[in-house]
Structure 1
Amino acid sequence: MADIGRASLILDTLAESRTMLSLTELARRTGLPRSTVHRLIQALEGELYVVRDPGRRGYSLGPGLLKFGVAAHSRLVSSNRRSLATLARTTGENVDLAVFSGREVVVVDQVESPDRVRSATEVGRAFSLHASCLGVALMALLPDDTVQTLLSGPLTRFTEHTVTDPDVLIRRIEDVRSTRIAVDREEHDLGICAVATAFRGQTGALQAVSVVMPSSRFRLKQSRAIEGLERLNPDLA
């Protein structure tokens, strides 16, 4: 693995962690030699891509990454806005755009429907991959070994409808690979259902789009939402 790949692995590991990580913890989580982690961390720190806690307890992502995040977010949103607005108008429901964020999926843009009701989703909200149609749709685009890794460890149950059995989830992902449509029936939030599709967008990033609505309207609007997502997904055109 080249240094850029090792550096990317370190940054991904820091992004997935909710706490600062020491060199030893980074080496353990990445599988890289501690000496390699130390050398790369010093280079990343010099560019402010990572910062060290003043108490020297560990490292976290730094402000140097913001310039990339802001530019990428702007391109991602602008390249999808028109199609999201069309989908929101034709379905009469909120439409979300989301991308991977470590072991979660995060909503980066939302177009509200004209008849908007209070939604369970909002820009910046993160969802567990296994408990959202956005996450399942995105995982369907990944290799099997990556999916296995993402589903390893305990999976949180958010509602009585949340699926936490990895084998069941893997079978669901296999189905989504054929249909390119994932469905969420109150698996993350009671009273909220959604359908989603995922694809590689114009910027090259893996992204997912969902139509979100109250459960009371889901049976009536599910087919319309799916048809809209199929028209939006370039891989199904």
Structure 2
Amino acid sequence: MSEGPLSMVDRVVLILDVFERSGGTLSLGQISARSGIPRSSAHRIVQQLVGARWLQRSGTEYTLGLRMFEIGSLVVRRTRTSDVARPFLQELCATTGHVIHLALLDEQDVVYLEKIGGAYAGTLPSRVGGRLPAHCTGVGKVLLAYSPRAVVDRYLAGGLCARTNASITTAEALEAAMVKIRNCGYATEFGEAAVGTACVAAPILEFDTAVAAVSVCGPWDRLRVDELKYRVMWTAAEVSRRLTATAHSLSA
């Protein structure tokens, strides 16, 4: 059987399914027998999964690794954040008439969890599940501004690509933007991700850590920052308060 990319993925899924059904530790022989994968192939895949922290090895036995827990926790957080934020995003859309985004930071990009809006939404490059370079967006800049220094340093090490002529392309410019954002509590974006578009964004905090951001986006000539910044910050603060409250109730 060929071990091209698809067949390797199939084998990894089979092995992880074995652990899901067992709920405990397994030897290499058990993994091979229960997945139907030859022992030599199973050993090679298992070692790679251990290296990636998907599995953890203890002597001659294996169990699910911390990476599985981390990713599972991230999925739960994303779902909980969207569920808590959605009614506030809908209210913000109704009161402003603009497109509303909910996004989080993932490596060099922002990932959009929600996009709510009318006709103008179709002109924006964002989509639910889609990605854009963080430094080119209002939500991305505000998330970087409220991220630990190590996260910012890793981001800058990846370089700053431009989407438009207005995009930030130097570390110095991004650093200056982040200082301004932290001082005022919100971020703006004017044509940096898409020509003719402007955004105002604010961070959603859980236990003082930025877990997501909310933004109002619209045509450059119709979006009034001075009028919208307080609405966006209030929305982000309310979602932050609800998220923290639900986290306390879940841990109680």
TM-score bracket, shorter-length normalisation: 0.5 to 0.7
Could you say which structure has the larger radius of gyration?
A: 2
Q: Which residue of 2 aligns with 1:232?
A: 235
Of residues 66, 76, 83 in structure 2, which corresponds to 1:71?
76
Q: Which residue of 2 aligns with 1:127?
A: 132
Shift of the alpha carbon at 1:42? Answer: 3.9
Shift of the alpha carbon at 1:234? Answer: 2.1
Question: Quick check: 1:211 aligned with 2:216?
Answer: yes
Of residues 25, 42, 51 in structure 2, which corresponds to 1:38?
51
User: What 5-or-longer segments of structure 2 have no aligned partner?
Assistant: 1-46, 242-252
Partner SS for 2:157: coil
Q: Which residue of 2 aligns with 1:165?
A: 170
Of residues 86, 90, 98 in structure 2, which corresponds to 1:93?
98
Amino acid at match of 2:196: G
Question: Quick check: 1:140 aligned with 2:145?
Answer: yes
Tell me, yes or no, if the aligned pair for 1:48 and 1:65 is still in contact at 8 Å: no
In structure 2, distance between residues paired with 1:217 and 1:99: 26
Of residues 118, 122, 132 in structure 1, which corresponds to 2:122?
118
> How many aligned residue pairs are there?
188
Amino acid at match of 1:132: T
Higher fraction of helix: 2
User: TM (normalized to structure 2)?
Assistant: 0.64
User: TM (normalized to structure 1)?
Assistant: 0.67
Amino acid at match of 1:160: N
> C-alpha deviations, 1:89-120, integer Å up to 9, x for none?
1110110101111221111012224x655241
User: What 5-or-longer segments of structure 1 have no aligned partner?
Assistant: 1-33, 51-61
User: Percent identity among equivalent residues?
Assistant: 21
In structure 1, distance between residues paired with 2:72 and 2:228: 35
> C-alpha deviations, 1:191-215, integer Å up to 9, x for none?
221110112148x761100101122
In structure 1, distance between residues paired with 2:54 and 2:76: 24
Shift of the alpha carbon at 1:156? Answer: 0.7
Amino acid at match of 1:118: G
Amino acid at match of 2:115: Q
Shift of the alpha carbon at 1:48? Answer: 8.6
In structure 2, distance between residues paired with 1:188 and 1:197: 17
Q: How does 1:96-111 map to 2 (within 5 A)?
A: 96-111=101-116
